[in-house]
Structures are given as C-alpha cells and as structure tokens.
Structure 1
C-alpha cells in the first residue's frame, strides 16, 4: 500500500478564543506550504478540535503516516508527556496508522531572529512615542512560560542571553509566568531597582491568552509604582514568518528522520540536580478531562478575550456568573497510556522514546515491545498513584492542592503521588501571587 503523509499540529489550548484563532493560523500556513499533504490541528485542553479529532480527519482522508508536530516552544510536561500519551493511545487504537512525533521549536536561530524583530518593533515605537532611550540604558526582560522542568526553564534564560547579547541592551533578565521562579511581578520589581531608564517586557510566547494578558497586567502594576522608568510591552511571537519557517523545519525533520529531542538533559532520564525524584517516572497525561471543554463563558464580559477573571469567585459573584474551577481533577479518568521511562533511561536505550520521532521500524518496536517497555493502558482513576509530576498550566502544585493563578488553592480530592516541584514554596514563585 502506498504511504500517504499528513501533518498534525498539536497545541495546548487556551480559554482565550483569540489564542485558539491564532494557533489555527499556524495550521493554515502549513497547509499553504505543504499543498500535497493534508494538515489538521488539535488541542490538549480547553479548545476544540481536540487532537484525536484532528487525527480522525487525517485518517478519513486516507493518511497512513502522521507527522505530529508539537506547537510548543520548549519541551516540558506537555511535549514530553501529555501529547505523546494522546498519540500513543490513538495509534494503539488505530494500528493501520503510524504516528511519528517531532520535536519542539526549541532553541532555534530563526526563533531568536523572530523574537529580536518583535523586540525591535517595540523599541522603535517607544522611541517615537515616549522619547529616545539608548539601548545601554535599557533592560530586557524576557518572560518564559515556566514549568517544573529545569531544562525548559533554562532554555528561556538562553533565549534571553542571545537576545541581550545580540541586540546590545544594557542588561537582561528572565522571569516566568508560572510554576517556577521568579514570577513576573517579583522579577520586574527586582529589575526596577537596577537603575535602567527603560524596561522592555517581552513574553516569549507563541500566542496570546490568559498568561500573556497576565504578564502585561503585572507590567502595568509595577510600572505604576515606578513612573520614573519607561515600561514597554513588546508583542509575543504570533505568526511571524520566521516562526512559520521553524514549524516547517520541524515537519521536514520528521520526514528526514532527524527529529531528536534533548534527552541528555531530561529529568526523567538523567539525574538532574534537585530533580532526582523524577527519573524513571512513567509518561502519561492527565488532560483528557478538560479536552474540548471550550473557552470562557459565553456571557462573560471578556467577550472571548479571556484573562481568567471568570475563574475568580468574587468576579463571578459581581457579574452573576457561575464559578467552577476549570482544572478540576475530581472527575473519574478514562483509560490512557503510560510509557515507562525506566525501560530506556538513556538516549541510546533499547526502545528509545516516541518523542524521538522514531523511523517506522523503531516506532513499531516501541509499540510491540514487552509490557515493561511499551506504552500500555492502565486504569487511571482519581487514586491512580501514578507517581509522575505534570504541568497543568496554572502554576505550581504540590500533591493534590493546586493554585489556579488567582491565589486560591483547591483540593480536588485526588491523590496522584507525583513528585512535587521541589521549589513550589519559593518566595518569588507562585507563593508570591497569594500576597494579592
């Protein structure tokens, strides 16, 4: 049978409908660049279509080999666990389809150039509207997503350094929107003490959404306390042509069998300082219970441009809206796969990892491996005891208590026994948000 290729762009999803629309533009751009291949997209949570729906569409079009590209800047929990788990499950249920998983956008010179152009646009506009400030009197603050994976967090710092050194700013700093430290408000508060006339705040994000809006909101708060400093909010990456080029490169890497993730620094495979408890943890996802639940409430004042205010009980009371925490884990879970990292703890292990976009023969070996080393289905209920830490996109969480980004931790009554983020109580991390 002749092989038919198709492209699947796998996104995280957002309650913000504008973010979902921006992500869809990536798929449209890849369709234009790959006219001979069907292209679909899907999300892990909050948005429709979900990833499995996109795969269904490709299968209906006769696709036999899927080139699955994660729409992620860096490889943390979503790229390493959640998306591969969804793909593993789908392939196990559809043995006639082969799914090859590509790598994240990562540290890429095209991405750095795209970021530099977004920052330069902000500098030019500020010089024109607020008055000229020399770059040596300017501090660049790059805001990363933040995760419980130190490798992904360090990549944000490397991006900042390359932008700082490449553009010649007086100083550079990195902060994060959630999970790790320092968060945006304490990071900018510290930066304001360094004596620079202007601070450029650049969210190193692909799309808008709740977190980008939160970054800009914290910028306004700190700026109000420091009227002597120009605070300039640069735009996020969005559909910059170089970003689209980088996505196309990831597709070509899968076709060429050259998509290799940075397993040497993976906390699940190697002894990373401070994260020793994570090595050998199973690969699995906890996101299916929020698949396709949609964005903000239809009658919310945000009109689809969600900033998560509708998840604050006081806001809901004021506007007569129902309040429910979006990321509740109280619902019973369906069957889903897990991959045992312990079966292959180095890059050259027996079966490798689905994330390495294995060629067909290797991927088949993974799927047909003995039960100790292949993706397997297991009962995943509220008391699953999976022993794995997951990034849920709303701040650090320890055991069963979650901070949903508005200072109200919620006990969801489940017991995952995952290794907690070791610095969840850092004073400059999510704990700082509870002071509000």
Structure 2
C-alpha cells in the first residue's frame, strides 16, 4: 500500500452544515443480520469504508447475493440462519476487529470449516476474548499462538449449547459474538457485562423480529439474553451518521475560535454518546436539535459552537461509552485549560494500536504535556500551542484523524505519516474537513 501523508496547516474556523458517513457498527451488523435473515433486506446510508466492505465480502464469499454498495445503498438477499455456504478460501477481515469477532459468533454455529485472516495490525489483536466463550458453547476453534489470527473455525455439525456468560471486560464485540452464537445454540444464551457498552446488536436483532431481553442489573452491570433456534425477518435499515466520525468535527469546532458547525443525522444511541457527555463536562457548547428515531436508533443534529474548554477528571462510568473517541478527546484535553485525567481505559491498549502510548507519543511530539498511565493518561493542557512535527499513526485510522485535528491550533505545519488507514472508517475525511474550514493536503508517496 502506498504511503499517504496528511499535511495540516494551522488555523481555520470550523463552520457549515455537514453529514458524516454512516455508522460503522450499524453498517457491519446490517450486512450480518440481513444475510442470515429470511427475505430481502435493504440498507441506506451504508458506510463504504474498508472495514464494512470486509464484512460484506465475507458474506458474498459464503454465497449470499448482495447488490451494491451504490452511494450507500445495499440490497441483501438473505439465506436464513442455516443457508451460508463454505467459502472457497480464507476470508480476509483486513483491519476490522468488529468483522472478525462478530463473525466468529455466527461461524461457530455453521456446519462447515472456515478460516479468518487479517492485516498486520489485526493479526496482533487479542481473540481469546471471543474464542474462550465460544469454546464453552462447544465450538472448535484454533488460533495462532497467543490467541491471535489466523482463526480456524471447525464446523462439522456440532451443536452449540447455550451459556450464561459473564464478560471479564466491557466489550460490545464480545457480547455480540456470544449473542450471535446463541442464535445457533440450544437453550437460552445470556451475556452479562461489567459496564454498559453499545447495544446495536440487541436493537437490530429486535428490529429483525428476534427477541433479545436486555436488563440493567445495577448501576453498572447489564445483561442481554436470547433463545436459540428462532429466525430473523428481513427489513429496511437507514444507517445513522457515525458519532465516532462526527467526534473529530465536534472537537475541531470546540477548540477553534469563532467556530459554528452543525453535523446532521448523527446516531445518538445512549451507549455511544460518552463523547458528547465528556465534551460538555469540559465546557463545550453543544446543542442537540431535530431529535427523532430511525429503525430503533435515536438520531439528532449536533450543533457545536466554540467555547473555552476546561480540564476534567473523566468519570469512569463514561469510559465504555466513548472508548473509540479517546484519541480525539485527548486533543480536546490538550486545548483545555488545566489538567485532564483519564483512568479505567486499559482497553485502549489493545485497539488497532496501543492508543494510550501512541497518542501520548504524538502529543508529546507536538509539545503537549501528556503522560501515559497503565489505564489512561494525564494531560496538562492549555499551556502552549502544538508545535510542528511529523507524527506516526502506527496504522491506526483514529490516530491519523485525531492528530489532524491537533494541527488546527499548531504554530506551524503538522505532518501525519501512514494515513491510508483512514479509508477503513472515513474515506471522505480530508475533503469534508477542508469543506468546513481546515487546510489539509493528502499526499501519496510511492
């Protein structure tokens, strides 16, 4: 893959009215559940990024007829729970942890053997967190030493048994994997979490007519259960704009003086809005407008105007609700007056990169006082403007985009290396940022 650099010129006032691409989590699930439902599912607003396309290709490889994507429109001719076919070769998940972990749950219930592979980054990410509960259900799965890809899933018709699984960590991907395997299991499968995480899988299963019962056990723990052996009925899905993608624009507007931006049709799932809650605690001027619901998912327009930010101690209860947004929230903290402290976020160390260490290194490179801790970071913000630097993204799209936003308030040019990975989640990122007032050049090198 050719190296792509983002060259960011400082300054700019963020303004306008935009719509960011569709939600990646919902795009993945629309393909998965549409493929194993009965009937024809139509999707609008599908995210045409590399991650969601890896999911789409996997189901094509298993014999599902899928038309599109064409300008966000996809038609999926479902084959039912038992209609998938053995793929002819290993299925390449690219950089997508969501594709891999959720698909493992569905594949554990099939009667054929298959193999999942991925790129260099994905091949380092931990998979025991899904293979352990799947093994408890009776699945036969082999991974590389250390519990990483490649992952071989052996079908041969063994019947999965339902389990009541208590997750050791708050992870929507692990919860979803267990529930999707539960579709193929005998009995009632439950997944209990130590803290709430995104509930797109539960909402969408209910939308496809497959009942999932979700219960709040106490202030933190949640539990989701379903009975095996039912069926899913096809439906239409309108994918809201991705709040994780919108977060880069929220922070850009929050930290640049004179900014006034509206981001339309953003998914407001309560398990995903931690980024808004945290920015508001820091003093950001954010108003939600035009709130309504599409396909069981709440959406709203996010109107954000510049306001001075203050450093805060981030409540641990909000950490799982903003786990993907912390790279750009660190940038907000760098622009805030005073100290911001994040703890309870050790999950960030096993994302596409070690996002705690990589963001600390990147912020330090531009002159910000950022100190990594085992489970978070301490940032002393507002002391000086970021200085010129060349930043390494470590193959991580969210690092590339977060440090692009950091370039807004720099004293001179900031260069981010290895940004081809941004295509995994947000192919139009640079053009949309330039449209609202940033000055970014995307430069491809052989």
In the superposition, the TM-score normalised over structure 2's length comes to 0.27
The structure whose residues are more often strand, as a share, is 2
Higher helix content, 1 or 2: 1
